[in-house]
Amino acid sequence: MHSRFFYILVVVLLCIISCTTADERASALRTVAEADSLRATGVLYSDSGKISVSVSNLYYWRYLYPTEYAKANYYYGRLLRQSGPQQAAMQCFINGIHTFTHDHSLLGRIYTNIGSMCDLEGNDSIAYIMYKRACQNFAHCGDSVAVFYAMNDMAFALAKQGKIEEMLIFTDSICRHCSDSNVIIKTYETKAIAYKYTAQYDSVIHYVNKLQANGYTESTGYMIKAQVYSLKNMNDSAVYYAGIVHDMSHDLFYQNNSLYILTNNDEKKDKETILRYASSRSDIQKLIEVRQGELSHAVELLNLSLNRKSNIYYWILFSIVIICTIIIISVGLRIRNNRHKLIKETLLAEQTRKQIEQSTIENESILEQTQQLLEDKEKYRQDITDQIEYTCSVMRGSQDLEKELHWKNFDEMCDVVNSNFFLFANKMKSFGSLSEKEIRFCVLVLLNLSYKQMAEMLYYSESGMGKYKYSVSVKLGTSAKKLREFLIKIIVEGKNSQVLFYSKG
């Protein structure tokens, strides 16, 4: 059952992929690449037939080639904006932003075109949102000039909404931080149009003159001047600039506005010319009404797209459900097939745990015994040390210490010393580097005699006993301060020590 479902899914995916052939896909990718190369030179790709076919061919491959699919929609939308249905153009731009492309420059251009269409339709609030998204995408890819252009568009949308102060914040910021002359010219144009909406005509003329002083030759500047002079009843100047716009511009809105000024302000034209202007304007108004209707439908389409999730997210959700279903089935089969193995592993783990617990108990018992032995050993060592100290104190209190130690005869001292003392001197003879006198000195150190007593028994000067003690300590590998402690350790820990003690009781 599981295998059959998997094979059916594979067949369905293969059928979807085979909807377009490899040749058609390659041709579509070549067309997009060609459009990119033309755009790099400042030319818009003009073959609407090929780019339309590319959009269709890349539709089923849009998840594998999201950037190419978005570019194809962008170029086709640009062509449709010029001479096609505006609703279709908007759909192309919407398709472009609903892909998984990470080309933020492309997304910025798409949002700019959507904002421009909303601007022409008169929906300035949505236009501002689209320009803002364009600005964010341009900033993400590091295109500072494009960011300033997008900020200009945002300022223009704010001006049309009557938010002049916010518009001035944008334009002043652009003038302070941008060094690109074309962007500055665009800023002057934005300010001129904004002041026209607020009837500040002197400011409008000021910025239009700054535009033209900076080499601006587009029809927008002349159109603004014609409208301002018409509003100020300066008919000769209005007609002059409207005539320039009529001759140089092919934009329907500019043609309509220039013909309106020529029809109503040009008193020098004959009646026949005025009628011809009116007739032309009537035809243009019909085209504008059609274009405005298309733009209205396009903006409605955009609103629907903004207010609902794209189909791509439903497809993603559907794919996630399918993948999760496959995973759940696989996990269920694995659990069923490995159930006995898991039970055995559980039993083995329980046995291992019990063995570990038993071993831990045994180890704890051994540790306690070892600790007790160490404590007993330490106690034994302390008892031995105490008895040595007691024996030494008894020896120090002897009336004739030299006789007690057999001091006159070295060999006898080493072998017997005193039946009530210990064969310490004999043990010291095992240190071959020590002389007879040094062994005698070690015996006296062990007895803890003063330097004066030591000097009398060794026939040595009292002042030289410290140096002598240091010399003996070096030979034994210890320090002068720890010499007696070292000698006691020889007795306590020596393997061959024979020890006889006075009883402390």
What is the SS3 string spanning 7-48? HHHHHHHHHHHCCCCHHHHHHHHHHHHHHHHHHHCCCCCCCH
245-262 burial, b if ≥16 CB within 10 A, otherwise e?
bbeebeeeebbbbbbbbb
The confidence score (pLDDT) of residue 500 equals: 37
Token pair 């189909």 is found at 311
The confidence score (pLDDT) of residue 17 equals: 55
Cβ atoms within 10 A of the Cβ of 326, count?
14
Sign of CA dihedral 36, 42, 44, 47: negative
Tokens of 398: 């002897």
- Spatial distance between the Cα atoms of 117 and 84, rounded to a whole number of angstroms: 13
Closest CA to 490 of 436, 438, 426: 426
The confidence score (pLDDT) of residue 317 equals: 74
The confidence score (pLDDT) of residue 14 equals: 61
The confidence score (pLDDT) of residue 204 equals: 77
- Spatial distance between the Cα atoms of 304 and 256, rounded to a whole number of angstroms: 31
| 184 touches 152 (CB < 8 A) | no
Q: Which residues contact 80 (CB under 8 A, 6 or more apart)?
A: 48, 86, 88, 89, 92
Max Cα-Cα span within the chain: 162
Partners of 422 in the β-ladder: 499
Q: Where are the domains of the chain?
A: 371-493
Query: pLDDT of the chain along its 505 residues, tens only?
Result: 555 666 576 666 665 555 546 778 888 888 888 888 888 888 888 888 888 888 888 888 888 888 888 888 988 888 888 877 888 888 888 888 888 888 889 899 999 998 888 887 788 888 888 889 999 998 998 888 888 888 888 888 888 788 888 888 888 888 888 887 778 878 877 877 777 777 777 777 877 777 777 666 677 777 777 777 777 777 777 777 777 777 777 776 767 777 777 777 666 666 666 677 677 777 777 776 776 676 676 666 666 666 654 555 567 777 888 998 899 988 888 888 888 888 888 888 888 888 888 888 888 888 888 888 877 777 777 777 777 777 777 777 667 777 767 677 676 677 654 444 556 777 777 766 788 888 888 888 888 888 888 888 888 888 888 888 888 888 888 888 888 888 888 777 654 333 333 334 3
The confidence score (pLDDT) of residue 341 equals: 84
